[in-house]
Amino acid sequence: MESENYEVEKRVAWIQQILTTSQLEGIVVGNSGGKDSATVLALSKLATKNVLSVIMPCKSLNSDATAAKSVAKKFEVENIRIDLSKSYDLLQEEIFKAVKITNQKAYFNLKPRLRMTVLYTVAQCKNYLVAGTGNRSEIELGYFTKWGDGACDFNPIADLTVEEVRRLGTYLGVPKSIINKAPSAGLFYGQTDEGELGLKYSDIDKYLLTGICEDPAIKIKIEAYQRGSRHKRRLPLMYPEVISPEA
């Protein structure tokens, strides 16, 4: 990554160009209280005064919402809260009346898909764009929900590893308590990214940036995640398009 000042300048200019060409008026950011969304929120606010932070608790920790609120206040961004807990309960109840739960991830992935629905509805109401908050380490391993937190109109940190986001976020003034918080998608109580992946982000980042991995077992696991999540990183197939397994 280039110097933090240069990185900020080019990303802010890129966001401004997207706003200009789309002829839309601002940006909606799903604010989780984590370093990724905080960094995107800060970049967005530098690009335009029209930024809306949306906190969407869904049977999640109160501390996450508190952290998210503090980030919005720190960067002087308008903030709203939409609690999805009741909607989540109702939707999963209706779905699972008809479909047996055979994969627990389908149950957990309802949360990010509900959040995506809210963000796009709010964005359309305000004539705004939805900002993505996924980093490179998550994206390359497919550690995101398809048509959930992976859905966005643009993503200004998609090329940055976890450690690079930490550096940029620190430069932008994201509080240390948020920068150093264990990454979590908030899918269930006690969930952490590294715990669910069975990998450390430091190992993932090193491999992505250098191609080096001292432990062959870790390399095999990273590459397995990459292969298994290719479908998440490409657009839907359109007839009569055919795509090879390697693509």
Which pLDDT tens digit goes with each residue over 89-125?
999 999 989 998 788 888 899 999 999 999 999 999 9
Q: What are phi and psi of 84, to 5 degrees?
A: -105, 5
Count H helices and E strands in the chain, helices first: 12, 4
| The pair of three-digit structure tokens given for residue 7, joined into one six-digit string | 């990185």
What CA–CA distance (Å, rounded) separates 18 from 176? Answer: 30
Question: What are the domain boundaries of the chain?
Answer: 4-193
DSSP 33: S
Mean per-residue pLDDT for 153-165? Answer: 98
The model carries a pTM of 0.94
Check: CB of residue 113 under 8 Å from CB of residue 148. Answer: yes
CB atoms within 10 A of CB 24: 18
State the CATH architecture for 4-193: 3-Layer(aba) Sandwich (3.40)
Burial pattern 95-108, b for ≥16 Cβ within 10 A else e, equals: eeeeeeeeeeeeeb
CA 120 centroid distance within chain: 14
- What pLDDT digit, counting tens, does each position of 29-39 carry? 999 999 999 99
Checking if the pLDDT of 247 tops 60, the result is no
Average pLDDT, the chain: 94
- What pLDDT digit, counting tens, does each position of 172-212 carry? 999 999 999 988 877 777 789 999 999 999 999 999 999 99
Length of the chain equals 247
Between 201-210 and 162-172, two packed helices, what is the crossing angle to 10 degrees? 100
Q: What is the dihedral of CA 168, 171, 172, 174, to 10 degrees?
A: 90
